Amino acid sequence: MTVFQSKNARKVATEDIPATYRLYRVQALMSVFLGYMAYYIVRSNFILSTPYLKDHLELSATQIGFLSSCMLIAYGISKGVMSSLSDKMSPKVFMACGLFMCAVVNVALGFSNMFWVFVALVVCNGLFQGMGVGPSFITIANWFPKSVRGRVTAFWNISHNIGGGIVAPLIGVALATVGTEHWRIAHYIIPAGVAVLFTGIILTLGKGTPPQEGLPSLDEMLPHEKIIIDDNDLALPPENMNSYQIFCTYVLKNKNAWYVSFVDVFVYMVRFGVISWLPIYLLTVKNFSKEEMSVAFLFFEWAAIPSTLLAGWLTDKLFKGRRMPLAIICMSIIFFCLLGYWESDSVFLISFFACTVGCLIYVPQFLASVQTMEIVPRFAVGSAVGLRGFLSYILGSSFGTILFGVLVDKYGWHAGFYLLMGGSVCCIIFCILAHRGALELERKSAALALKKCAMEK
């Protein structure tokens, strides 16, 4: 009787492999889905607390932007480093540790009053937040083939929409329970408790690679799904390479990794330029009530759920695994919606345009994520995600938060919206470059397959 195992895996009999594989990959997907959702609960809660911080700490728009940018820059640095390190770590342990530490930081935020203490804590939160995304992509790349990755990644991607979306009602219920005078408990302590609960779920459901769980690798299970990136992909086995060597060899010198990273840079600039400033913009410029603002915030997050799921199916089926054409369509629509969001005065129209931007902005972001898994070998996915995450947060989030805030303080809200619309155009340009790079890899992969077939004959 044949068995497949690694040093730390239990034996799985051949006849049990199909059923075990199906069960484990569902559990693996649910662990990163629920885990990443929880990461956003202890991240988006800070954005909703900014109006209270502005009032109680008397902070300017620049200072609020500085706080948000500090967390996002720290997250970008951490995402680059931690995602590369996660290529060599246990995904579930790595992800669970990061989430638990985010909960600890949020508890500390609930007891803080000084501006610079907040700066230090949001930096710490950003550093620990970087431990969530790498394990998620590594898990998907190890358990799901290219033919279904669009749909699977789309499903995983809505986890942060759900996490970000439930923050508003969660905090709303908490405020109604403890009172607005205890807004720190509602905004920080309660979300931290939820994160601790989900830490246990990650450790319970999470999985390593299939061989680590006593199963064959994905390439052995589905050899026809193997993606050929280069003729010498496995010239040096990953076990003999450290994280830095993997990053330099398969990511740093890969032009397609840079193209898709800059797609993310400008997506993040637009995304954070809208979501980070939506509460303050709607309250101070458009004269929304706090209740109307919370509803608009919730719609922004939750509107992306159906569109992301549909986009995943479309790129797998209609676009035959090509990710960027749909991203280009979405960013073009976003450009005009930003104009409507900026110029409208109606509560309904503003909410509609904000909802449409929220509906579409996560589509190119998740499509860039899927393409990242398809332009590098599987053992370098974490490193590629790290480069993309580092650039998107260091540049994209900074442009959308602190640069946006500075422009608003100096030149008014018009300048901020010019910035976002310019970012939309730049994103479309890099989507085109990324698409051309993917087509080049397709042609190369087909040529290598024909060459190997001819040699076998």
Which pLDDT band, with edges at 50, 70 and 90, does 376 fall under? confident
- Which helix (H) or strand (E) segment holds residue 405: the answer is helix 404-411
pLDDT given for residue 14 in this prediction:
77
Q: Are 413 and 103 in contact (CB under 8 A)?
A: no
β 12-13/3-4 pair status: antiparallel
pLDDT at position 287 over 90: no
Residues 6+ apart with CB under 8 A from 299: 351, 354, 355, 358
Range 430-451 average pLDDT: 80
Domain assignment of residue 88, yes or no: yes
Domain assignment of residue 1, yes or no: no
User: Which residue, 252, 239, 216, is CA-closest to 88?
Assistant: 239
pLDDT at position 197 over 90: yes
- Which helix (H) or strand (E) segment holds residue 276: the answer is none
pLDDT in tens, 198-245: 999 999 998 888 888 888 877 677 665 555 444 444 444 566 777 778
pLDDT given for residue 232 in this prediction:
41
Q: Per mean pLDDT, which range of 3-12, 121-130, 242-251, 269-278 is the poorest? A: 3-12
Question: Which of 72-86, 183-197, 304-318 is the most confident on average?
Answer: 183-197
pLDDT given for residue 1 in this prediction:
36
Question: Which of 26-35, 169-178, 332-341 is the most confident on average?
Answer: 26-35
pLDDT at position 390 over 70: yes
pLDDT at position 84 over 80: no
Domain assignment of residue 133, yes or no: yes
Which pLDDT band, with edges at 50, 70 and 90, does 195 fall under? very high
Domain assignment of residue 105, yes or no: yes
Domain assignment of residue 268, yes or no: yes
Range 46-50 average pLDDT: 82
pLDDT given for residue 225 in this prediction:
54
pLDDT given for residue 39 in this prediction:
94
pLDDT at position 4 over 50: no
Range 25-35 average pLDDT: 93
Which pLDDT band, with edges at 50, 70 and 90, does 2 fall under? very low
Q: Give the amino acid at 2.
A: T
Q: Are 166 and 297 in contact (CB under 8 A)?
A: no
- Residues constituting the chain: 457
Q: What are the beta bridge partners of residue 4? A: 12
User: Could you give the number of structural domains in the chain?
Assistant: 1
pLDDT in tens, 128-152: 998 998 899 889 888 888 778 888 8
Q: Are 168 and 48 in contact (CB under 8 A)?
A: yes
Residues 6+ apart with CB under 8 A from 51: 279, 280, 283, 290
Domain assignment of residue 378, yes or no: yes
pLDDT at position 83 over 70: yes
pLDDT at position 38 over 50: yes
CATH of the domain at 322: 1.20.1250.20
Q: What are φ and ψ of residue 13, in 5° steps?
A: -65, 150
pLDDT at position 158 over 50: yes
Burial of residue 233 (CB within 10 Å: 0-12, 13-18, 19+) is middle
Domain assignment of residue 293, yes or no: yes
Q: Are 245 and 375 in contact (CB under 8 A)?
A: no
Q: Give the amino acid at 107.
A: V
Which pLDDT band, with edges at 50, 70 and 90, does 456 fall under? low
Which pLDDT band, with edges at 50, 70 and 90, does 29 fall under? very high
pLDDT at position 438 over 60: yes
Identify the domain containing residue 113 by its residue range.
11-209+240-456
Domain assignment of residue 147, yes or no: yes
Name which residue leads in pLDDT, 197 or 392. Answer: 197
User: Which residue, 392, 346, 335, is CA-closest to 366?
Assistant: 392
> For 88, which DSSP code?
G
pLDDT given for residue 231 in this prediction:
41
Which pLDDT band, with edges at 50, 70 and 90, does 307 fall under? confident
pTM score above 0.85:
no
Q: Per mean pLDDT, which range of 187-191, 335-339, 438-442 is the poorest? A: 438-442
DSSP 336-354: HHHHHHHH---HHHHHHHH
How many whole angstroms separate alpha carbon 130 and alpha carbon 389? Answer: 9
Which pLDDT band, with edges at 50, 70 and 90, does 3 fall under? very low
pLDDT at position 100 over 80: yes
User: Which residue, 432, 417, 267, 428, is CA-closest to 353?
Assistant: 417
Tally of CB atoms within 10 A around 200 = 12
How many whole angstroms separate alpha carbon 412 and alpha carbon 344? Answer: 16
> For 395, which DSSP code?
I
pLDDT given for residue 310 in this prediction:
86
pLDDT at position 9 over 60: no
Q: What are the beta bridge partners of residue 12? A: 4
